[in-house]
Amino acid sequence: MKKKLLVLLMLCLAVFASASAQENRWTQVFDTAGDAGNLSIRFLWMGPQAPEAEDKPGDCMILTSPDGKVMVLDSGHPLSISYVTDALDAMGITKIDYLVASHPHIDHIGGFAALMDQYEIGAVYTSELEYTSSSYYRAYMDAIAAKNIEHVILRDGDTLAFGDAVTVNVYNPTGEAALTPEEQKNKTEFINNQSLALKFTYGESTVMLAGDLYVGGEKAIVARWGEALDCDVMKANHHGANTSSSKVWRDAVSPQITFISSDAIEDVSIAKKYTKNGQKMYHTLLDGAICLRTAGAKDYAVVTEKDRTTTMFD
């Protein structure tokens, strides 16, 4: 009897210790102590898809520039907003200097209206694509107008300064794409192919973040920009699904480190393509929230919330 009690007690302690270790790791991911002088990008774990949600939890990245400017690139589904606000609050952020929408789907802009309510916003950056059939799109456009927030339209070929030291090149969309008959049948694909493709350059370090581009969009961008797309780090387009990550795109960007943001392994073979030649791949389902930090010298330090429980992608 005594022995059983002891085992039970030890088991309880082990569970408690691992839960608090997990919390400790989350705190490390969002600890801003090492951010000064670095470009930091936090890829958020946005939770599992809620039973009542019709869409994925989506993407959210919190970026901080070496001189302390804050960018939130996408905000996930409205039901995942607490993951975003918990992270922002842990980082002590009260002002979002750049609130950027890769494209206007709910799993990317669903939290925008809430963020505009709770944080001071410098300016909102979007493509020129309007998506007025979405109530969440209308809600944040209304919030921009009501709060008199500056709204900047980004187009293919534009350059944006993220603080003093980081340059953002915009490689999509052109704004000239007319809906082809095929795209009219499948508007989701058309909208995803209008995603902003953003290349961040800090010194020698380069990162590509391009929303939910499908293969067609990837190929069109490679045809326009070719070698300019080369980056050390990339987020796999469209949550690592097989709608995207064409060979043409992977060869053009040729990342050494790839991040995938999803509550599921959308496609195992796509995920494996990003580790084929010894490159690193991080996935929010397997690694939890992730912080990438670079001092601008092709140096990349990564902190993950969780330890992998699978060797499938090693």
Q: Which is nearer to Zn ion, 107 or 266 (CB)?
A: 107
Q: Which is nearer to Zn ion, 46 or 93 (CB)?
A: 46
Taking CB under 5 A as the binding criterion, the range among 101-109, 142-150, 247-255, 280-288 that sits at the site for Zn ion is 101-109
Report which DSSP code applies to 42.
Answer: E
User: Quick one: which of 205, 200, 163 has its CA closest to 65?
Assistant: 163
Q: How far is the CB of 241 from Zn ion (least distance, A)?
A: 9
Q: How far is the CB of 263 from Zn ion (least distance, A)?
A: 11
Q: How far is the CB of 301 from Zn ion (least distance, A)?
A: 27
Q: How far is the CB of 277 from Zn ion (least distance, A)?
A: 27
**Residues 145-204, interacting with Zn ion (CB under 5 A):** none
Q: How far is the CB of 98 from Zn ion (least distance, A)?
A: 20
Report which DSSP code applies to 211.
Answer: T
Strands (E), the chain: 39-43, 61-64, 70-73, 95-100, 120-126, 150-153, 159-162, 166-170, 198-202, 205-209, 233-235, 257-260, 280-283, 290-294, 301-304
Q: Which is nearer to Zn ion, 59 or 97 (CB)?
A: 59
Cα–Cα distance measured from residue 262 to residue 286, given in angstroms and rounded to the nearest whole number: 10
**Residues 106-125, interacting with Zn ion (CB under 5 A):** 107
Cα–Cα distance measured from residue 81 to residue 116, given in angstroms and rounded to the nearest whole number: 12
Q: Is 309 exposed, middle or buried (0-12, 13-18, 19+ CB in 10 A)?
A: exposed
Sorted by sequence, the CB contacts under 8 Å of residue 106 that are 6+ apart come out as 55, 58, 77, 78, 134, 136
Taking CB under 5 A as the binding criterion, the range among 102-110, 115-123, 267-275, 296-304 that sits at the site for Zn ion is 102-110
Taking CB under 5 A as the binding criterion, the range among 148-156, 169-177, 206-214, 302-310 that sits at the site for Zn ion is 206-214
Would you count residue 74 as binding Zn ion (CB under 5 A)?
no
Q: How far is the CB of 285 from Zn ion (least distance, A)?
A: 14
Q: Which is nearer to Zn ion, 212 or 305 (CB)?
A: 212
Angle (CA) 132-136-137 rounded to 5° is 40
Sorted by sequence, the CB contacts under 8 Å of residue 235 that are 6+ apart come out as 43, 59, 61, 208, 209, 210, 258, 259, 260, 261
Q: Which is nearer to Zn ion, 24 or 188 (CB)?
A: 188
Q: Which is nearer to Zn ion, 26 or 259 (CB)?
A: 259
Would you count residue 212 as binding Zn ion (CB under 5 A)?
yes
**Residues 278-307, interacting with Zn ion (CB under 5 A):** none
Q: Which is nearer to Zn ion, 106 or 141 (CB)?
A: 106
Taking CB under 5 A as the binding criterion, the range among 20-28, 103-111, 112-120, 164-172 that sits at the site for Zn ion is 103-111
Angle (CA) 58-112-290 rounded to 5° is 45
Would you count residue 266 as binding Zn ion (CB under 5 A)?
no
User: Quick one: which of 172, 181, 274 has its CA closest to 218?
Assistant: 172
Q: Which H or E element spans position 5?
A: helix 2-29
Number of residues that bind Zn ion (CB under 5 A): 2
Q: Which is nearer to Zn ion, 112 or 202 (CB)?
A: 112
Q: Please give the residue ranges that form the binding site for Zn ion (CB under 5 A).
A: 107, 212
